[in-house]
Amino acid sequence: MAVSYKKCFRTYENEKFDSKVTVVTDEDDDQSDYEEIAECVDNPSEEKKNQNKYTDWNKCDASKSTNSENKRKGNVDRTEGKQDFDLKLPGKQKVKNVKVASKTWRTACVLSAFLCVGLMSVVAVLLWLMLSTKGSPCEHVQCFHDGNCSVSGNIAICTCHTGFSGLRCEGTPCVNFNCDNGGTCFLDEFQPKCACKNGFTGENCTISPCSRSPCEHAGTCSVTGSIFSCLCLNGFTGIQCEIYEADFENNMGSMFIQDLSDEHNWRVHSNSTPSTATGPSSAYKGDYYLYFETSSVTDGSAARLLSRDFIFESSGCLKFHYHMYGSQMGAFNVYQESRQIWRKAGNQGNQWKLAVISLHANNFSSSKISFEAVRGTGYKSDIAIDDVQVLLSGC
């Protein structure tokens, strides 16, 4: 069987001498039985050709031994002094095993590549399914105060009603809306309004009970809770300082003056009067009261008080407490200008009594109120008054 030689080499390692040799390969890869150690040349020698001719592959092992022996004999002179060695090439079964392993490795690599590609495809499909079935970003976003959610790109955006602000419309108009005097802000159809405490009104609860200046006669208004109160100047009383008052705690006060045309004067006093069995023992209100001392005066003598000028657009009211105690008691008269509007005479007992008298409208002209005390038949006729009030409205 003829063999063709090529310009290539096959190298085998000798495990015993740890050296490498090169053998000629033929075109048939299955024919790996060459033992010749030679350089691969274009024109191999006739001897080498003869050494590589085989008629039967089953005689390969015997030919290898003959060729090896001839080679050793031909190279005795050149290798003199050197140790000869045998080159044991891999057997046919071993080469086949290597080829089978190589094919198995290639098959495993191909299968692994297909498996990796398949896994990557599955992962890509799963990701695509997850992204394609993912809900809208607005599903997880709450816009407060009825704000509307919309999507821009992949971002949820809240569109707020007028007055509301913030990423989720959480900022209300009440944030910058002030309710004064303890008022509370609330939303009415998305508009801020104030719930005011009792007594306060206005858009921002700025109108208080004192805003309309309810305190008359220069009284000072203040608010306690939801109720206003007035601090009145001396000579005035009432919820709105609308009542003229004389309590005689500060002498005659601002309501009355002495009538200079009478015989005697009224006196400011506290506790009991000097005379026994007549007069009060204490004031009706506070510490002081006003009285007419009847000792050392003649019978029928009078003491008068004159009030300030009053204008009554309609009927007014006069209130006072009087004390007429004594066995020789005289009379007590009250006038509106020159008209007598009230009279008491005789002993009324040892106690304070209340008098309430209606005053006539004076058609926008001023009028004075006067108190007149008249001595009785003796000194046991002291007359006293306290807590006098004049109202510009009816009783």
CATH of region 243-391: 2.60.120.200
Helix (H) or strand (E) holding 132: helix 92-133
Q: Phi first, then psi: give them for residue 127, nearest 5 degrees.
A: -60, -40
Q: What is the DSSP letter of 36?
A: -
Instruction: Name the class of domain 140-171.
Output: mainly beta
Question: How far is the C-alpha of 66 from the C-alpha of 291, rounded, in Å?
Answer: 172
Domains 140-171 and 243-391 share a fold: no
- The 10 Å Cβ neighbour count of residue 36 is 18
DSSP SS3 for 159: strand
pLDDT of 349 reads 94
Q: Could you tell me where the beta strands, DSSP code E, fall in the chain?
A: 9-14, 19-24, 148-152, 155-159, 184-188, 191-195, 220-224, 227-231, 236-237, 243-246, 256-258, 267-269, 289-292, 302-307, 316-324, 331-336, 339-345, 353-359, 369-374, 383-391
- The 10 Å Cβ neighbour count of residue 14 is 14
8 A C-beta contact, residue 292 and residue 382: yes
8 A C-beta contact, residue 336 and residue 279: no
Q: Phi first, then psi: give them for residue 143, nearest 5 degrees.
A: -95, 115
pLDDT of 108 reads 82
pLDDT of 281 reads 93
Residue ranges of domains in the chain: 9-77+86-95, 140-171, 243-391
8 A C-beta contact, residue 90 and residue 32: yes
Question: How far is the C-alpha of 214 from the C-alpha of 207, rounded, in Å?
Answer: 12
- The 10 Å Cβ neighbour count of residue 219 is 20
Question: Tens-digit pLDDT profile for the chain (395 aa)?
Answer: 444 444 444 444 444 444 444 444 444 444 444 444 444 444 455 554 444 444 444 444 444 455 555 555 544 444 444 444 444 555 556 656 767 677 787 888 888 888 888 888 888 887 776 665 556 778 778 888 788 888 887 788 888 877 777 788 877 778 778 888 788 888 887 788 888 887 788 888 888 888 888 899 899 998 887 788 999 998 898 999 999 999 999 888 788 999 988 889 999 999 999 999 999 999 999 999 999 999 989 999 999 999 999 888 888 999 999 999 999 999 999 999 989 999 999 999 999 999 999 998 887 788 899 999 999 999 999 999 999 999 988 88
Answer yes or no: pTM beyond 0.85: no
